[in-house]
Amino acid sequence: MAGEYTRQEIFSQPEAWSAAVELLKGQGDVVEQFYRTGKYDNLLFTGCGSTYYLALAAASLLQELSGTTALGLPASEIWLYPESSVPKGHNLLVAVSRSGETTETVRACESFKARGFGDVLTLSCYPGRALTAIGDLNLVFPSGQEQSIAQTRAFTTLYLATVGLGILWNSHRNWLDSLSGLSEVARDLIEQYAQLAEEWGRSTKLDRFYFLGSGPRYGLACELSLKMKEMTLSHSEPFHFLEFRHGPKSMVAPFALIVALLSEKNFEQEIAVAKEMQAMGANILTLAETGADIAFHSGLPEPIRNVLYLPVIQKMAFERSLAKGLNPDQPNNLDAVVKLS
C-alpha cells in the first residue's frame, strides 16, 4: 500500500527515540571523555540533504549550550571548499548520515582528517558501513533505520543523538533522563493531532507552504520544508521568523500556509510575525510548548524538546502526498543514498 513504510516510520518514532536514549546512556562516559580530552576550539556538524539541516539545528543548539563556536555545513563544502568553510584551530567534525554511505559525507571526513583539521565523530543508523570506520568515535543508532526514501524516523533519532551530545558535553547530565520523557509526549501528540494533520495535509485550497523557525529551530524548519517538497511536490520554503517580513511576505495569500515553530524565549516577537501574516490573508498553524494550535505541554527544558516540532508536521506532509495520489515512500527522482562515482 502506498506510504505504508512512511506511516509506520512516523508513528514508531517514540520507540525509536527510547532506544536511542538508552544507547546514549550506555555510551555516556565514553562520549563525554572523548570530548573533554579533545579540547576543541570549534564544533562542526555536517551532512547532506536532511542531515545538513540537522547539522544546522545541532550546531545552533550546541553553541547555545556551550558557548563554543559551532557551525553546520554541507558535507560537499568541507570536501570541495575546505579553505573557505573550515575555521582555523583544533576542530571536532560531527558527521551525520542515515545510511553511512553518502559519498560527500564520507569524502568530507576523509579530507578533514587528511588535512589535519581535527577529530571526527560519526552518527549513523547502520553498522558496518563506510562512515562507521572513519571516525575517531563512531556511534550507530539502529532504531533510526528506514525503508522509505524521505527521512522521518532517522532524522529525529539522529537529531536526538546530537541533543544527547550537547547534554553530555555541557554538564547537563540530569537532562539525559529527561530525554526519555519525550517518547510519551510524542506518542500523545501524534494521536491527539492526527486529525488536524490530516485536515491541513488534505486541504485543496493550499498551494504553498512556509516554515518559520529561528535559532535552533531554523534547521528544523528547513527539514520540514524539505519533507513537504519531497513527499508532496509542493512549493515550500523555510525562513527565520523576522526575515519573513523582508520580502517573502509578498507571497502571502489565502492559499498559503505558514507553519510557525514558536520558541518560549522569543514567543511574543515570533507570534507577532505569524499574526501579521494572518492579517494579510495567510493561513497559520502554530506549534509551541503552550498557547499554540499544536501545544506540547511537555514540561521539559526548551533545549531538549525541539524534536517535538517534527512528527505532526511530518504526518501532514504524508497526508498531502496521499491526497495528491503520490507515494511518500518513493518521492519523485530521489534515491535513498547519493553515491558518486
The DSSP line for 241-298 is TGGGGTTGGGG--TTEEEEEE--STTHHHHHHHHHHHHHTT-EEEEEESSSSSEE---
CA distance 99 to 146: 9
Same fold for the pair 4-179 and 183-323: yes
Nearest CA among 96, 115, 116 for reference residue 106 = 96
Torsions phi, psi of 234, nearest 5?
-105, 155
Grid cell locating 333 = 527522482
Q: What is the pLDDT of residue 231?
A: 96
CATH architecture, domain 4-179: 3-Layer(aba) Sandwich (3.40)
Tell me which CATH homologous superfamily contains domain 183-323. Glucose-6-phosphate isomerase like protein; domain 1 (3.40.50.10490)
Q: Where along the chain do its domains lie? A: 4-179, 183-323
Amino acid at the residue 262: L
What is each CA distance from 73 to 33, 36, 158, 282, 319, in whole angstroms?
25, 23, 16, 32, 31
Q: What is the pLDDT of residue 332?
A: 81
Segment (H or E) for 45:
strand 42-47
Q: What is the pLDDT of residue 39?
A: 95
Biggest CA–CA distance in the chain, Å, is 55
Output the CA angle 87-50-306, nearest 5 degrees. Answer: 85
The answer to whether the beta carbons of residues 182 and 305 sit under 8 Å apart is yes
Q: Is the dihedral of CA 13, 17, 23, 28 positive or negative?
A: positive
Mean pLDDT in consecutive groups of 10 residues from the start of the chain, 341 residues = 94 98 95 96 98 98 95 98 97 98 98 98 98 98 96 98 96 86 97 98 96 98 98 97 97 97 97 98 98 97 96 98 95 79 78
Q: What is the pLDDT of residue 341?
A: 78
CB atoms within 10 A of CB 11: 18
pTM for the full model? 0.97
Q: Give the DSSP letter of residue 180.
A: T
CA distance 178 to 198: 30
Q: What is the pLDDT of residue 148?
A: 95
